[in-house]
């Protein structure tokens, strides 16, 4: 056997190998010693990285799928089609990651099917569970043409084409519901969540920022995959998307400012605190700076400029979700939480596996249709 | 008929008998049950019952301590589940593992639970605890107001063993009246507030105190609305979001498609008749 058949050992493959080994050890720990041994979670801080990042950020980052599906099919802007399929794939992988993360985080993962039969329509979590489950199925169907094309299966392809529009509309509705509901999850902790982040408008903020970050993710992925697969980048398309993203950021920024002002939540800004620092960082990185960048046409239509704006929007989004689900709750819990390395390694492993799956799909399936 | 517990922190002497009785009936004693006591959680108890007092001393609620006595200066306060009238945990649990029984207790069905811990996140009093170190069968743990004992006509163990009547068990309406009486009779002794009468829509555990409730570790920033109303307001919008949203998206799709068709037809027309 010749060694040339083995995959080449590159830097990034080495990094992935280290991450996956650590993740494997942490998974063993989680499923043989329990959550207590594998995490820094406590009675005072029952939700950590696996919920705050994997689930709450993960679902948001996958919002590019429904945003682009709506742009292409509902608004009939067909020119965005070339970047639709990679976005659907990313969304599908993102939601799959959420499902796997839940298996790690749930105390009794073998009961994950319970919401199917044990209903509590008063629970936001119940609604999220159903929406995520159904939307995962929708995403699988939306991406499946890539698989059917590969195996030249005409019948299912024709069937899927016939139901595309209803499928997309159902997907957009499900996304609208659960993207906003991730914010509603925190409506029930008015006395615990810091006033910077607690607002009756949380569901609306979560929805709008998900649309914004969905667009940022599409720009981000297009850049990465153009580099990785040596493809031309669809710059005019992405610039148009960047302009739309600027609009979304503007609406989001104005609404948040009005809400903060109306609730009088800006008073603590005068005292320096961890919360104030993180809040300022979130707003500056995720809203103000990218908005200014996107307002300038030269920046928007420049590959590096647009990429920078997208990266900023994504970082601000991550900060926002982690602030709502972790930092903003620390002050009332009188507890400090910082993830254990095992938690981090599981999360990184899942992100790594996502990249791997994307690369495999890009190699063996027709992900970039235009080519 | 909804039962409740009235806690008068001015009476509590911090003897911790309630703490040990709770461990006894919930099978949480570290040592095996002493020679004097049967393991039966449903036995009658009294202020004279011999309890394994060396098992007391927990300062914080945990999976092994569902009821603790905390000292704040010279004042003692017993903390346990507040058994809200409209409980947050009941509302947030996606699989309905919690329920408020008509008799008053908020109880937990471990067979339903999938361990998402939203109840712990959401509880305004920070009561539910988790068995973090059980690998496959971790449970949420909290006081159940001795619901099994209540069905046998017995009182919650903590109230049975109290030597000074700091915690009394009775119908919520009666206890509210009793609390108001005490506030009226000794207006200078008590803070003129019954904690739990209105907090988060009312609780089935009521507190009286001579010092501020906040100083005793009870959250002071709770609204008088039942918290489930905050999320249910959103959830009840779902049907309209789905119907309106569906119609809107369908409408936009139809319009954009129609526009495309018209544009195409016009183009052909122009080609045919230049």
Question: Tokens in use for B110?
Answer: 């471990």
Q: What is the DSSP letter of A109?
A: G
What backbone torsions phi and psi does residue B169 show, to the nearest 5 degrees? Answer: -105, 135
Q: Which chain A positions have a beta carbon within 8 Å of B121's beta carbon?
A: 46-47, 189, 329
Cα torsion B7, B10, B16, B21 to 10°: value is -30
What CATH code is carried by the domain that includes residue A296?
A: 1.20.1630.10
Is A113 part of a structural domain of the chain? yes
Length of chain A: 371
The pLDDT assigned to B29 comes to 85
Is A240 part of a structural domain of the chain? yes
Is A144 part of a structural domain of the chain? yes
B129 touches chain A (CB under 8 A): yes
User: Which of A291, A294, A301 minimizes the C-alpha distance to A234?
Assistant: A301
CB atoms A125 and B92 under 8 Å: yes
What backbone torsions phi and psi does residue B108 show, to the nearest 5 degrees? Answer: -125, 130
Burial A324-355 (b: 16+ CB within 10 A, else e): bbbbbbbebbeeebebbebbbbbbbbbbbbbe
When CB atoms are compared, the residue of B115, B116, B235 closest to A121 is: B235
C-alpha distance from B202 to closest chain A C-alpha (Å): 16
Beta-carbon contacts of residue A150 (< 8 Å; ≥ 6 apart): A364, A365, A366
Question: d(Cα A289, Cα A283) in Å, to the nearest integer?
Answer: 9
Q: Which domain, by its residues, includes A104?
A: 43-334
The pLDDT assigned to A224 comes to 85
When CB atoms are compared, the residue of A42, A120, A127 closest to B93 is: A120
CB atoms A76 and B256 under 8 Å: yes
C-alpha distance from A251 to closest chain B C-alpha (Å): 20
Lowest mean pLDDT among A264-268, B144-148, B214-218, B249-253: A264-268
CB B207 within 8 A of CB B196: yes
The pLDDT assigned to B147 comes to 94
Question: d(Cα A330, Cα A334) in Å, to the nearest integer?
Answer: 6
Beta-carbon contacts of residue A204 (< 8 Å; ≥ 6 apart): A180, A183, A255
CB B70 within 8 A of CB B217: yes
Q: Which residues is A170 bridged to in the sheet?
A: none
Is A245 part of a structural domain of the chain? yes
**Confidence at B50, pLDDT banded by 50, 70, 90:** confident
CB atoms B231 and A122 under 8 Å: yes
Is A344 part of a structural domain of the chain? no
The DSSP line for chain B is: --EEEEEETTT-----HHHHHHHHHTT--SSPPPTT--S-TTS---TT----GGG----S-BTTBSSEEEEETTEEEEE----BSS-HHHHH-TT--EEE-TTS-EEE-TTT-----HHHHH-TT---EE-TT-SS---EE---TTHHHHHTTPPPHHHHH-TT-SEEEEEHHHHHHHHHHHHHHSTTTS-S--BTSSGGG-BSEEEE-SS-TGGGT--S---SS-THHHHHHHHTTHHHHHHHHHHHHHHHHHHHHHHHHHHHHHHHHHHH--
What backbone torsions phi and psi does residue A342 show, to the nearest 5 degrees? Answer: -65, -40
**To 10 degrees, what angle do helices A303-322 and A202-228 make?**
140
Question: d(Cα A77, Cα A79) in Å, to the nearest integer?
Answer: 6
Is A15 part of a structural domain of the chain? no
B217 touches chain A (CB under 8 A): no
CB A238 within 8 A of CB A224: no
User: Which of A308, A332, A33, A340 minimizes the C-alpha distance to A195?
Assistant: A332
Beta-carbon contacts of residue A359 (< 8 Å; ≥ 6 apart): A228
Count structural domains, chain A.
Answer: 1
Cβ neighbours, 10 Å, residue B257: 14
User: Which of A212, A194, A208, A203 minimizes the C-alpha distance to A324?
Assistant: A194
CB atoms B132 and A33 under 8 Å: no
**Confidence at B37, pLDDT banded by 50, 70, 90:** very low
Question: Tokens in use for A194?
Answer: 């810091």
The pLDDT assigned to A6 comes to 58
CB atoms B114 and A106 under 8 Å: yes
The pLDDT assigned to A231 comes to 77
Cβ neighbours, 10 Å, residue B216: 19
Q: Which chain B positions have a beta carbon within 8 Å of A118's beta carbon?
A: 95-96, 112
Is A64 part of a structural domain of the chain? yes
B249 touches chain A (CB under 8 A): yes
The DSSP line for A251-311 is: HHHHHHHHHHHHHTTTGGGGS--HHHHHHHHHHIIIIIHHHHHHHSHHHHTSHHHHHHHHH
Phi-psi region of A167 (alpha: psi -120 to 50; beta: other; left: phi over 0): alpha
CB atoms A125 and B116 under 8 Å: yes
> Which positions 110-139 of A are in contact with B (Cβ < 8 Å)?
111-112, 114-115, 118-129
pLDDT in tens, B6-35: 999 999 999 999 999 999 888 888 875 544
Q: Which chain A positions have a beta carbon within 8 Å of B62's beta carbon?
A: 43
CB atoms B114 and A203 under 8 Å: no
- ipTM of the complex in this document: 0.92
Per-residue pLDDT of chain A (371 residues; tens, 9 = 90+): 444 455 667 888 899 999 999 999 999 999 999 999 999 999 999 999 999 999 999 999 999 999 999 999 999 988 888 889 999 999 999 999 899 999 999 999 999 999 999 999 999 999 999 999 999 999 999 999 999 998 989 999 999 989 999 999 999 999 999 999 999 999 999 999 999 999 999 999 999 999 999 999 999 988 888 887 777 788 888 999 999 999 999 999 999 999 999 998 887 777 788 899 999 999 999 999 999 999 999 999 999 999 999 999 999 999 999 999 999 998 888 888 999 999 999 999 999 999 899 989 988 888 886 54
CB atoms B132 and A41 under 8 Å: yes
The pLDDT assigned to B172 comes to 97
Question: Tokens in use for A190?
Answer: 């008015």
Cα torsion A85, A90, A93, A96 to 10°: value is -100
CB A142 within 8 A of CB A357: no
- Top residue of A76, A99, A334 to mutate, by most chain B CBs within 10 Å, is A76
- Top residue of B201, B235, B261, B264 to mutate, by most chain A CBs within 10 Å, is B235
pLDDT in tens, B189-217: 999 999 999 999 999 999 999 999 999 99
The pLDDT assigned to B35 comes to 45
What backbone torsions phi and psi does residue B167 show, to the nearest 5 degrees? Answer: -120, 120
Length of chain B: 274
């Amino acid at each position: 056997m010749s060694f040339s058949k083995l995959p080449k050992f590159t830097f990034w493959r080495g990094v992935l190998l280290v991450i996956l080994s650590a993740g494997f050890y942490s998974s063993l720990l989680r499923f043989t010693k329990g959550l207590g041994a594998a995490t820094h979670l406590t009675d005072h801080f029952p939700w950590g990285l696996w919920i705050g990042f994997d689930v709450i950020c993960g679902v948001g980052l996958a919002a590019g799928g429904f945003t682009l599906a709506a742009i292409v099919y509902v608004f009939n802007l067909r020119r965005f089609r070339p970047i639709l399929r990679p976005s659907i794939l990313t969304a599908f992988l993102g939601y799959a990651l959420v499902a796997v993360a839940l298996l790690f985080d749930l105390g009794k993962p073998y009961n994950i099917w319970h919401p199917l039969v044990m209903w509590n329509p008063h629970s936001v979590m119940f609604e999220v569970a159903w929406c995520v489950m159904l939307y995962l199925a929708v995403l699988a169907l939306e991406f499946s043409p890539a698989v059917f094309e590969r195996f030249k299966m005409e019948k299912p392809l024709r069937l899927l084409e016939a139901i595309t529009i209803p499928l997309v509309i159902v997907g957009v509705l499900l996304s609208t519901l659960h993207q906003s509901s991730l914010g509603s999850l925190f409506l029930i902790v008015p006395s615990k969540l810091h006033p910077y982040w607690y607002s009756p408008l949380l569901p609306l903020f979560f929805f709008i920022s998900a649309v914004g970050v969905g667009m940022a993710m599409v720009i981000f992925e297009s850049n990465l995959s153009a580099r990785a697969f040596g493809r031309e980048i669809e710059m005019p398309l992405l610039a148009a998307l960047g302009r739309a993203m600027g609009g979304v950021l503007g609406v989001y920024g104005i609404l948040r400012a009005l809400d903060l002002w109306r609730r009088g939540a800006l008073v603590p800004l005068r005292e320096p605190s961890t919360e104030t620092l993180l809040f300022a960082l979130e707003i500056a990185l995720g809203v103000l700076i990218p908005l200014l960048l996107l307002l300038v046409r030269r920046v928007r239509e420049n590959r590096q400029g647009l990429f920078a704006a997208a990266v900023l929007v994504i970082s601000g989004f991550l900060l926002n979700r982690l602030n709502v689900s972790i930092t903003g709750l620390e002050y009332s819990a009188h507890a400090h939480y910082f993830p254990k390395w095992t938690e981090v390694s599981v999360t990184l492993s899942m992100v790594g596996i996502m990249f791997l799956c994307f690369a495999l799909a890009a190699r063996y399936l027709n992900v970039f249709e235009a080519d | 008929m909804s039962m409740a517990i009235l806690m008068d922190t001015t009476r509590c002497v911090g003897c911790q008998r309630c703490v040990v009785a709770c461990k006894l009936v919930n099978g949480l004693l570290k040592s095996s049950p002493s020679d004097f006591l049967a393991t039966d959680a449903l036995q009658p108890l009294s202020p004279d019952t011999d309890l394994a007092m060396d098992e007391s001393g927990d300062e914080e609620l945990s999976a092994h301590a569902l009821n603790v006595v905390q000292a704040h200066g010279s004042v003692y306060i017993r903390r346990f589940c507040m058994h809200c009238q409209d409980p947050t945990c009941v509302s947030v649990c996606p699989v309905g593992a919690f329920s408020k029984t008509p008799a008053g207790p908020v109880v937990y069905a471990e067979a339903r639970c999938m361990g998402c811990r939203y109840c712990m996140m959401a509880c305004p009093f920070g009561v539910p605890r988790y068995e973090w170190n059980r690998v496959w069968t971790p449970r949420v743990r909290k006081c159940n107001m001795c619901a099994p004992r209540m069905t046998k006509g017995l009182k919650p163990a903590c109230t049975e063993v109290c030597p000074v009547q700091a915690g009394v068990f009775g119908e919520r309406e009666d206890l509210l009246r009793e609390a108001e009486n005490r506030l009226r009779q000794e207006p200078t002794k008590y803070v003129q507030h019954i904690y739990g009468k209105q907090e988060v829509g009312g609780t089935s555990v009521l507190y009286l105190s001579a010092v501020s409730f906040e100083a005793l570790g009870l959250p002071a920033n709770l609204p008088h609305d039942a918290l489930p109303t905050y999320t249910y307001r959103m959830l009840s919008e779902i049907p309209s979001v789905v119907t309106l949203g569906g119609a809107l998206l369908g409408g936009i799709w139809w319009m954009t498609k129609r526009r495309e068709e018209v544009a195409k037809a016009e183009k052909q027309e122009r080609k045919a008749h230049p």
